[in-house]
Structures are given as structure tokens and as C-alpha cells.
Amino acid sequence: LILLPKIKPESFFQLSIIIPFYNEEESLPELCAWLERVLNSNNFTYEIIMVDDGSTDNSWNTVKNLQSQNQHIKAISFQRNYGKSAALNEAFKACKGEYVITMDADLQDSPDEIPELYQMITTGKYDIVSGWKKKRYDNAITKNIPSKLYNTVTGKMSGIKLHDMNCGLKIYRSKVVKSIEVYGEMHRYIPVLAKWAGFKKITEKPVAHQARKYGVSKFGWERFVNGFLDLASIMFVGKYGKKPMHIFGLWGSIVFMVGAAIWIYLAIAKFAFMQYKMTDRPLFYVGIISIVIGTQLFLAGFLGELISRNSHDRNTYNIAEKIGIE
Ligand code: UDP
Ligand code: MG
């Protein structure tokens, strides 16, 4: 009898490391070498998924080179620059690890944090452990101060208390990344998306941060506007995406009824007491506007319902567990 060693299926790893990059050619070789060092010395089974988000420099050739020397590396390249969210989403679909780590390519996030992040998520049974750049080496005015404001607002709106929601370095349970869809600029709000998907065990770990060694930041001032608009969509879609009439119908009815009440009051005042012309009262206009806006909100609710009825994921729910069912 020959005892074969227990072979793990090839598609199975402890860790998937996901790295989206856009024009980071100088950093990539250093980053990969550093990752290899840390992951091998801790005996992890792993894959590294590098996503080229439409780089116009030599990044893709660099990655192809690295890949040919290292069988842990897998790579995806976009035809054009779609954004960090798109890059992450593509890798989330492809990854096969039990836990998934995302990190930036610019060497600002340290691979040395990986063993502790892994330790924390496995022993604490968390869904997400998010990095927190407690001591941050970025420009105070363009990055650090806006980031504080942004974290406070997002925390208030979403009920998730993280100091650094948008930190690129995070570890997830595989199921989390398989259950969410990230697009636009939504990579800033992955913990919020995860919470809406039912993954609420979210915590943070202070992580080391470094100043950018090569290249420049890829995010400018537009991130404020886009970032907050995306937060609004996430909050809305998360809460009412599957039942738009519940918000539009409610507010449409309330506003319409206020308008109707104003008109009834004005009509009684005029015809019963003959006090004045209806149009002499400013209230008249408030009445008209309320009725118009109320009707429009209601219509928006109907349209929303029609759209969500046609959407392919109208009946998609995250199932936590199944017993006796395929
Ligand atoms: N990135 C990307 N696509 C983009 C912009 C950025 O893949 O359109 C990557 C970038 O290469 C880096 C990470 O996202 O690996 C974080 O970007 P950056 O360091 O410029 O952001 P910052 O640290 O300045 O907030
Ligand atoms: Mg950076």
C-alpha cells in the first residue's frame, strides 16, 4: 500500500494577494521580491494577482518578466485605464485563496503586515481586517486632512467606525469579495458594501506606511466629488435598491399630501370666507410645487420598480449556509 501525501487541489491557496497598478513600473520588481520573501518565510500557500489597469509605461512588460520567473504570479491587463475599482473587481472574480489581501503597488503598503493580518482574521474570525495608516506619510493638505473628514462622514452615514476606510491594505474572507461588486470609485467603500452584503465583523489594524518612493499619486481632487457621490449611491442602492418605491413612494405621498392640504386650506379660506384671491398668498406656490414634486417622486418610484424588476440580480441574496442542498 502506497500512502500518497494529501494533495491540495491546485486551485486552493491560503492567500490571494491582489495588486492593482497603473504606471508603477519602478515599484513592481521591489514589491514582488519583498512579497516573496515574506510569504515564503512564513510558509504560506498563495497566489499573487497583478492587475494592470491600462498602464502606458513599461509596467506590463515588467510584470510579464516577473511572472516568467515566478509561478506564484498571475496577471491580468486591461485594454485601457478603468480605475482601481474595476481592477479589484476583476481580481476578486479570479482569485482562489481562502483569504484575500489587497494592497497598493507603490510600496506605500508594507508586505511585512501580511502575517499579522492573517493571524488576526483567522483567530478573530473576522470578515474584514482593514489597515489603518495611523502614521501617514502623505501630503497633509491634499491627503491627510481630507481623509479625516471623509472617514468621519462615511462612518456617520454607514455606521462603520474605521479610521481609514480607504486604506489599500486589507484582508478579507474569500466569501466577502465573491459577494460584492465594485465599480466606479467604490473601492473606497468596500467595508460599506460588505456590510450591506451582510458581512459585519469588520475591524482594523494599525499598519506601517511609507512615503511614495517612485512615481506620483494617481488620484487627484476629483476623488472628493466622485467619492461622495459614490457613497450616496452605495447607501441608496444598499437600502432601497431592491425596493425603490418604499422611499420614493413614501416621500412622494408625503410631499403631495402637504401640497393638497395647502390647497384645500386656501380653497376654504377663499370660498367660505371670501378673504382674498388664492394667488395672493405665497403659500399658493408652495402648494403647487409640493404637488408637482410629490407626483414626480412617486413616478420616480414607479420607474425604479420597473427597472429593478428587470434587473438580473433582483432575486440575488447572499446565502450564509446551506444544509443538505446543493
Ligand atoms: N491605481 C490603479 N488604477 C488607477 C489609479 C490607481 O490601479 O486608475 C492603483 C495605483 O497604481 C496604486 C493604487 O491604485 O497601486 C493606489 O493609488 P495611489 O498610490 O496613486 O493612491 P494614493 O496612495 O495616492 O491615494
Ligand atoms: Mg499610494
Residues 199, 127 contacting (CB under 8 angstroms): yes
Cα(12) to ligand 1 centroid in Å equals 28
- Which atom of ligand 1 is found nearest the CA of 166? 25
pTM of the full structure = 0.85
**Which helix (H) or strand (E) element contains residue 20?**
strand 13-21
- Which atom of ligand 1 is found nearest the CA of 103? 15
Residues 172, 128 contacting (CB under 8 angstroms): yes
Q: How many residues does the chain have?
A: 326
Task: Give 17-33 pLDDT, tens digit per residue.
Answer: 999 999 999 999 999 99
pLDDT at 5: 56
Which residues of the chain, if any, have pLDDT below 70? 1-11, 320
In short, whether 85's Cβ falls inside 6 Å of ligand 1 is no
Q: Angle at Cα 146 formed by Cα 234 and Cα 134, nearest 5°?
A: 95
pLDDT at 64: 95
pLDDT at 9: 52
In short, whether 18's Cβ falls inside 6 Å of ligand 1 is no
- Which atom of ligand 1 is found nearest the CA of 105? 15
Measured CA distances, 74 to 35, 93, 103 (Å): 14, 13, 15
**Which helix (H) or strand (E) element contains residue 59?**
helix 59-69
Q: Name the closest ligand to CA 23.
A: 1
User: Which protein residues have their CB within 5 A of the ion that is ligand 2?
Assistant: 104, 106, 108
Nearest-angstrom CA–CA distance, 105 and 21: 6
- Which atom of ligand 1 is found nearest the CA of 215? 20
In short, whether 53's Cβ falls inside 6 Å of ligand 1 is yes
Cα(182) to ligand 2 centroid in Å equals 19
Cα(50) to ligand 1 centroid in Å equals 13
pLDDT at 1: 62
By CB atoms closer than 10 A (0-12, 13-18, 19+), residue 166 is buried
22: cell is 497603473
The gap between the terminal CA atoms of the chain, to the nearest Å, is 34
Question: Atom 23 of ligand 1 has which residue's CA nearest to it?
Answer: 217
